[in-house]
Every structure is written in C-alpha cells, then in structure tokens.
Amino acid sequence: MSEIELKYIGQENEKAKLDAETAKTQADSEAYKKTKAAEAEAESNKKVAESVTDELIRYTEAQAREKHGWVTVNGANTVVTDQGK
C-alpha cells in the first residue's frame, strides 16, 4: 500500500471513532433528558397525590352533586331514568 492509501485509511478510522463517540454522546444526552423528565414527572405526581385530601374529595363531590343532582339507590333492582327529556 502506498503512503497516501495508508493515510486515507488512518483518516477513515479516525472519522469512524469520532462518529462513534458522537453517537454515544448523543445517546447519553437523550438518556439524561429522559431521566430528568421522568424524575420531574414523578415529583409532580407526588405533589398532586399529597395534595388530595379527604376534605378536597368531599368538596369536589359536593360541587358535582350540586351541579348534576343527587341519585340515591335503594335495593339492587333500581332503574334510574331521565324523565326530563
């Protein structure tokens, strides 16, 4: 092989190494971003879960019942129909 061919092969090998390093860096960056996003979502979910109290549930239920009415079922064979339509 000539010196030029050896130089070209060396350059190609160096380029392949740099391409591999670049791909690894990009993959590491994507993995880091996904990990941080998952951690942020987990923290957000934790805060939401901690904010839900029995009092909040009762309040929300009362608002829904005020808006949509209150249905009480007595017995297993009760049929609820909308007589207003």
Distance between CA atoms of residues 59 and 62, nearest Å: 5
Residue written as token pair 């909040």? 56
Q: What is the pTM of this model?
A: 0.52
**Tokens representing 56?**
């909040």
Residue 78 CA to residue 50 CA, distance in Å, equals: 37
Mark residue 69 as left, alpha or beta (left: phi above 0; alpha: psi -120 to 50; beta: remaining): left
For residue range 17-67, list pLDDT tens digits in order. Answer: 999 999 999 999 999 999 999 999 999 999 999 999 999 999 999 999 888
73 and 80 Cβ atoms separated by less than 8 Å: yes
